[in-house]
Structure 1
């Protein structure tokens, strides 16, 4: 079969582009994936007991965009779920993000009320304030609050998650952990929230169930392709179509300027012979233990089952060839190296980089879909 486009990587970005180009431009698309499954890190599966779990950690889809929600709704019904997270602080489970309700639980009544009044008066209500920003306040009470949240919620969790201190991370990362001046205990406030009713994998399978789309699993793209400036080959023959690349940007160029750092994760699963063991789907452990959080998947999926599975999540350094890259470590020291790789990418005609690894960006799922749809629109119009 002659292909018009090759997609490298079968995660969100690659599969959205494959679907769009196949259905909207009638292209023949080849998807190459080095793992044994589609879906990237959003892949989910059933355990031997029949419980649906997320293989690479919890994924809750949320977006403010009706366009993105409606697009994915072509391929799935939804289990409408609003994520709630608690953290173990001083021996009790409290809501996250740290909010007005959390203050009522961890502080004496008079102190909690005083802090709440000052927060609302100075910063407003229903406002999210990054913890590092809150630490800049001059009011002594708010300084106390900022230091408390920094120590109890933010600092040690960040050290475990990223392997470096909060001040070394880019504000786009640290800003994701705010103090929320509200009584809304939901982790996300986006208009559309939920999980695919039958799982992410089933959604992706339906997305690429098209005669124009072929998928090669368990295949490193380098085994079938050569990508160089001015020369692209597929199966040993010249290839003149588009290439969608969703892998690591430094790997594409053989680590010419050195490796860009990532964090990885390791999971340990426990099955319990009872319906539920946690009060919420996600329980964070900022202090104590080596794991950062525990996820009970049935809270997320809405599945009915007499047993339950809980995953403990252990962050670790990414080592090429040994584990999976999850999160780009976006820090000042990496920006110059990234800039060099992006210059190399600009020299590759007809090769388009999209996604968390290829763009070296901390995307949420809806952000990846938006980037893929934007690129698809451009390619369809060409």
Structure 2
């Protein structure tokens, strides 16, 4: 068959899972280990782990291909689950920002205020009084601009939020839902950690190694460089889990859901350290939003270091659903189609058009598995006259490869 290759593997699968990121991989592992059913997980990229994919670059530095991914959560259950597949390295992420030619902590804290304004505020109360004196009353908080101006005033909004948010989203904060800037706190103490979650850890040997362990089960096969459109009709399967863009699944029937993307520029320097912390933000200057240095994050000892410049983009792989009311309205139309589609489960950031952290995606996947356990019976009947452990000729798209 022109443009196709034949591989001899299990020819019929209980589950086809589209996407080998957190959502798809966690569900593959749960289904394989807890239901003893066969899973084929496919990804159009040449690797597993989705956007969390990390690798050793040509210099030997462990880096994150799609920008820094920092694991943090308050959920003991999520850490316990992932601990089956990795050891952890404790890591508390710190971010600095270049503001008015000064390098100061982000999120804004008392140290930030003192450095910017030449003050010597010594208590939370003094810092709060300072912020209150600058805050501007907002009658109804609707937008990202409203959130910040009502807490810290327009000057700090302009310095820390307006430029960064406009670069990141391609929209003025006054055009974005309040949820965008609500994610970034303002502190009156001197805590300079970016996150305050109970668990702040990194996979000891990297994300990709953790994903390899998650997908190691004998009931799981992984196919890379494989697009769903090319395999859905040639790989018999009983049920589908889709973690890609929901609008793409339905052939953009109602139009495309808007996303922001990122372009990454990776640079290696022949020096042990490039900057003082894992990430430095540039809210006021530069075309990029931030520079990240991975050795802070991974703890790797190496004579060289690799950094990444992040440039927000309107085109490219979909990363961030754009939080505007009209986009949610469009998503709900696709969600209605999803609810009517039998034997298909939509899971993950792209399939549910939500901006999830990694731990939230894991939590969503585990919750979906519990629903599967409650509502999807174990089956024994064959598909197309074949049992799910049957061997046979499987038609694979040209260029696709089996990882295991």
TM-score higher than 0.5: yes
Q: 2:347 matched to 1:354?
A: yes
Q: For 1:106 and 1:335, how far apart are their aligned partners in 2? A: 38
- What does residue 132 of structure 1 align with? 146
Q: For 2:220 and 2:327, how far apart are their aligned partners in 1? A: 36
Distance verdict in 2 for CA 1:119–1:242, change over 3 Å = farther
Q: 2:363 matched to 1:370?
A: yes
Q: For 1:177 and 1:167, how far apart are their aligned partners in 2? A: 16
| Structure 1 residue 332, shift from structure 2 partner | 1.2
- What does residue 195 of structure 1 align with? 202
Structure 2 residues without counterparts, runs of 5 or longer:
1-9, 134-143, 376-404
Q: 2:68 matched to 1:50?
A: no
Q: For 1:35 and 1:117, how far apart are their aligned partners in 2? A: 48
- What does residue 21 of structure 1 align with? 31
Q: For 1:120 and 1:54, how far apart are their aligned partners in 2? A: 37
| Structure 1 residue 10, shift from structure 2 partner | 0.5
Preserved CA contact (<8 Å) 1:5 1:242: yes
Preserved CA contact (<8 Å) 1:7 1:29: yes
- Larger displacement relative to structure 2 (100-109 or 350-359): 100-109
Q: 2:101 matched to 1:108?
A: no
Q: 2:177 matched to 1:170?
A: yes
- What does residue 125 of structure 1 align with? none
Distance verdict in 2 for CA 1:26–1:91, change over 3 Å = same
Q: What SS is found at the alignment partner of 2:285?
A: coil
| Structure 1 residue 208, shift from structure 2 partner | 0.6
Q: 2:225 matched to 1:218?
A: yes
Q: Of 289, 294, 308, which residue of structure 2 is paired with 1:297? A: 294
Preserved CA contact (<8 Å) 1:83 1:186: yes
Q: For 1:314 and 1:350, how far apart are their aligned partners in 2? A: 39
Q: What SS is found at the alignment partner of 2:248?
A: helix
Distance verdict in 2 for CA 1:296–1:84, change over 3 Å = same
CA RMSD in angstroms, aligned pairs only: 1.9
| Structure 1 residue 117, shift from structure 2 partner | 4.5
Q: For 2:246 and 2:128, how far apart are their aligned partners in 1? A: 48
- What does residue 305 of structure 2 align with? 308
1:119-152 alpha-carbon deviations (Å, 9 max, x no partner): 6999xxxxxxx87335236xxxxxxx42122111
- What does residue 19 of structure 2 align with? 9
1:210-245 alpha-carbon deviations (Å, 9 max, x no partner): 1100111000011111xxxxxxx453x5x4x22110
- What does residue 80 of structure 1 align with? 90
Q: 2:333 matched to 1:340?
A: yes
| Structure 1 residue 110, shift from structure 2 partner | 6.2
| Structure 1 residue 312, shift from structure 2 partner | 0.6
Preserved CA contact (<8 Å) 1:131 1:149: no
Q: 2:70 matched to 1:60?
A: yes
Distance verdict in 2 for CA 1:213–1:349, change over 3 Å = same
Distance verdict in 2 for CA 1:13–1:21, change over 3 Å = same
Task: List structure 1 runs of 4+ shifted beyond 2 angstroms.
Answer: 110-115, 119-122, 130-137
Q: What SS is found at the alignment partner of 1:339?
A: helix
Preserved CA contact (<8 Å) 1:8 1:244: yes
| Structure 1 residue 59, shift from structure 2 partner | 0.2
Q: For 2:147 and 2:285, how far apart are their aligned partners in 1? A: 26
Q: For 1:42 and 1:134, how far apart are their aligned partners in 2? A: 30
Distance verdict in 2 for CA 1:117–1:180, change over 3 Å = closer
| Count of aligned residue pairs for this structure pair | 354
1:327-374 alpha-carbon deviations (Å, 9 max, x no partner): 111111212211111111111111111111000000000000000000
1:231-287 alpha-carbon deviations (Å, 9 max, x no partner): xx453x5x4x22110000100010011101111111112211111010001000001
Preserved CA contact (<8 Å) 1:8 1:33: yes
Q: For 1:117 and 1:255, how far apart are their aligned partners in 2? A: 48
Structure with the greater alpha carbon radius of gyration: 2
